[in-house]
Structure 1
């Protein structure tokens, strides 16, 4: 009987220990799940506005205890990664036109978290000191002043196609679109402004150049450059449920053109590797913007 009671007691103790281990294990899994929910992977493309807002979110979320990974990819893999759940968040979905193909393919698997910028436009611009040039139409008959060229960006860019195929013929402009790269275009723009010489360039919103240089967009009464697009934030399936705090921030997030240009300029001007510090400094200098969507707790 003593052996039976002893074995029974041992079995009970063993069962109790097992229950305690299971409970501890469950607690550990719950804790790990909670910890995992503090890990977020933001995918981004190498466009200035996406680099800027991604760094801003990285700073703000880390201040809230999140472990933030940022992953640079091309646009297609970004959408595929979100749909597959390998990425959590993307802050630079251009709709309805620029990313239309990706949206058509993947939108049923994604969570649209809202629009944070609604003036994404393609433009032709000149320095402010050209006071008598305010419309694309004003360029007609004056190609000699500008060397007969519109200084553009990459030949394969949509902006280059729209300028060459739409703007130049519709306005009857006797100009050649001189394509090379965004970097070369900006260098030419900066040099011309320094020398106070005429120049006409292709540009787009949002871009930090509007915060750094005294430039203006030319009016487009014929609508040759197309309508404004919106920039959306997009989450993977289940994002809102898994990240309610971040979802609330993202849905409140709004930047106007001037504010976004300021943020882009701050990030773009930072030495390589110091983008997050630049974003942190910008956030500290613009508390009213931050408090509008991510107030201090």
Structure 2
């Protein structure tokens, strides 16, 4: 009888410990993570990270779509715990210079991010210089929003490469993709302004035109940035962010393309995490 009582007492204590461990993070305030809604890579990366944090690390997460400048400011003042969309060292260099002493850089989640001029793999042109003699492009470059970084650099490229007669047409991300889609369907020549990571590289075989003059700059990284309080508030999450990194544009492209094809970001992230347990284990050990 005494043995039974001791066994029950042991099981009761063990059960209480399990419950306590399971609810340890339940009492913690949800993590607030920001992303830029118009950036397909920001949406995909942030939702996958959030799914891993919730499913494998046991933290509640609130995601907030927010403008770039406010996102940086919010992480710096602690109203956001993290963001995974910092383009460094150039594109967000001004924000980094302003806030670097108030945030923690957990390193790249994507390497070899870049901007430039993009063409289908089936065209003969391989360099921006080739545009001067290749008449199949009809002296037209399809752009995105006027004033964006890649548009400013393209205007400079037209001057530096002496692309006399070439016209850069301002459009939008959707407008650029529409032109690219039409060209791909007909196997016509087209040159567009673009960047990686982007889902279009998962949909079509594309290439950057070589830029020997370096107008568009070197490759950048997309980094995960946390508040100074994150490591104390959620140490497991801080460790995860140090390890969380996409292997290639094709890997993140799988998620971006699913979202582009109509999947909800949360569903696309959940599906990707379920299909790639080995990658998740590399990041979390679980």
TM range (shorter): 0.7 to 0.9
Structure 1 equivalent of residue 180 of structure 2: 189
Give CA deviations for 1:58-91 in whole Å, capped at 9, x if unaligned: 2112213221100111111111111221111111
Structure 2 equivalent of residue 67 of structure 1: 60
Quote the offset at 1:184 in angstroms.
0.4
Matches for 1:154-173 after TM superposition, within 5 Å: 154-165=145-156, 167-173=157-163
Structure 2 equivalent of residue 201 of structure 1: 192
Matches for 1:88-103 after TM superposition, within 5 Å: 88-103=81-96
Quote the offset at 1:294 in angstroms.
2.6
- Are residue 285 (structure 1) and residue 275 (structure 2) matched? yes
The CA distance in 2 between the partners of 1:54 and 1:34, in whole Å, is 20
Unaligned runs of at least 5 residues, structure 1: 1-30
Equivalent in 35, 38, 60 of residue 44 of structure 1:
35
- Are residue 222 (structure 1) and residue 225 (structure 2) matched? no
Quote the offset at 1:133 in angstroms.
1.1
Which shows bigger deviation, 236-245 or 180-189?
236-245
The CA distance in 2 between the partners of 1:117 and 1:139, in whole Å, is 30
Q: Is residue 92–residue 233 contact of structure 1 (8 Å, CA) maintained in 2? A: yes
The count of residues paired between Structure 1 and Structure 2 equals: 261
Q: Provide closer, same or farther for how the CA distance between residues 289 and 84 of structure 1 changes in structure 2, counting only shifts above 3 A.
A: same
The CA distance in 1 between the partners of 2:60 and 2:160, in whole Å, is 51
Unaligned runs of at least 5 residues, structure 2: 1-21
Q: Is residue 131–residue 137 contact of structure 2 (8 Å, CA) maintained in 1? A: no
Report the secondary structure of 1:293's partner residue. helix
The CA distance in 2 between the partners of 1:263 and 1:295, in whole Å, is 22
TM-score with structure 1 setting the length: 0.83
The CA distance in 1 between the partners of 2:27 and 2:104, in whole Å, is 20
